[in-house]
Structure 1
Amino acid sequence: MEKKSIYNWKNNLFGTKSTLYRNEAVIGSLESINWNLDAHVSIHNDQFRFKNKGFFNPYTEIRNQHNELIGDIEYDTWTTKATISLIDKKYTWRSKNMWMTSWQIENEQGEIVEIKPSSLNNGGKIESFEHSELILSISLYLQKRITLMVSMVALIPLFTVLLG
């Protein structure tokens, strides 16, 4: 059995940048504009762009550093599950529990990447048997996306009170 790799990420104060570490060495980052679902991820020498499309049937394009479309992510209605389609593989992303405190990406062979956010240290951990910069990038992006979506939903009552 292949060895599991463990990565950690830490977000900046405003959540616009996440820095990815392996054994405390910086190996990459995710950058986005506040309240925007688009992002740019760099890991080692690989760079990927995530461009959100659609509103009622949302999906995200994944492009490489040459702006070539290399995959997409299609979300279910509540954005708590998604299908990741790459050129040669398919994956499923979903919450591991009803509290949405742990997430997983599973390939067709059942191999799992676990994403475990931690609100205490404003970051989290990724445990993966798949050694791929693209899958790491997707893991970081999906974590950023779900954090942003949950934050937006949490603010709805506040805006209702302020505007009401």
Structure 2
Amino acid sequence: MAKFINWKRNWLSSKIELFVNGIQKGAIIFSTWRSDAESIFEDKNYFFTNVGFWQSKTNVYDKKTNELIAIITYDSWKSKAVISMKSGEQFEWKSTNFWKSQFVVSNYKDANIIYNSSSNSGSISSDTDDSLLMITGLFIKQIYNKRGAALVACFVPIIIATTSRHH
């Protein structure tokens, strides 16, 4: 059964709100200084916590049982990620256009979730009812957004210093 979700991001609160038929059904709330997040969607509640110095992996826990239910492994060079479920099934997250405004989560069999985004909002079209996968795709997008912003923040001072030296 197809599922359609709209989402919007609130810049001030680091929160993504999720809407089904115009009614808010959930949210992803990011920690202020870290990339960890808690999500609530319909009756599901997940916690995403990043692991390691370079945060190349995220563990996903079911908040109700504290059980590790998925691991996300990032490939920073290719803007791809692999979602490994507790069941052993794997899904790939990847951007489908240059601007990273469209991305997909798929197992290349029977589960495909397509995301479209603009700066602060977007939509999700899913042929699976798996709320964990739908939420995880948005979480990964935010991780790559934060990494991109951090990269820009690191290089802008270098570029400014280099160009101002020549004037």
Same fold per TM (> 0.5)? Answer: yes
Q: Deviations over 1:95-124 (max 9, x none)?
A: 1123322110011415311111111xx121
Bigger shift: residues 53-62 or 22-31: 53-62
Distance 1:76 1:13, change over 3 A: closer
Secondary structure of 2:128 counterpart:
coil
Identity rate of aligned residues, in percent?
Answer: 26
Q: CA deviation at 1:160?
A: 3.0
Q: CA deviation at 1:148?
A: 1.3
Q: Which residue of 1 aligns with 2:16?
A: 18
Give, in whole Å, the separation in 2 of the partners of 1:163 and 1:67.
48
Distance 1:91 1:75, change over 3 A: same
Gaps of 5+ in 1: none
Secondary structure of 2:35 counterpart:
coil
Gaps of 5+ in 2: 163-167
Q: CA deviation at 1:157?
A: 2.7
Q: CA deviation at 1:13?
A: 2.5
Distance 1:94 1:123, change over 3 A: same
Q: Which residue of 2 aligns with 1:51?
A: 49
Conservation of the 8 A alpha-carbon contact between 1:35 and 1:148: no
Q: How many residues align?
A: 160
Q: Which residue of 2 aligns with 1:102?
A: 102
Query: What letter is aligned with 1:74?
Result: T
Q: CA deviation at 1:55?
A: 3.3
Q: Which has the larger radius of gyration?
A: 2
**1:60 corresponds to 2:64:** no
Bigger shift: residues 78-87 or 18-27: 78-87
Q: CA deviation at 1:79?
A: 6.1
Conservation of the 8 A alpha-carbon contact between 2:8 and 2:18: yes
Give, in whole Å, the separation in 2 of the partners of 1:64 and 1:163.
46
Q: Deviations over 1:121-161 (max 9, x none)?
A: x1211111011111122122112212212222222233436
TM-score by length of 1: 0.87
Q: Which residue of 2 aligns with 1:72?
A: 71
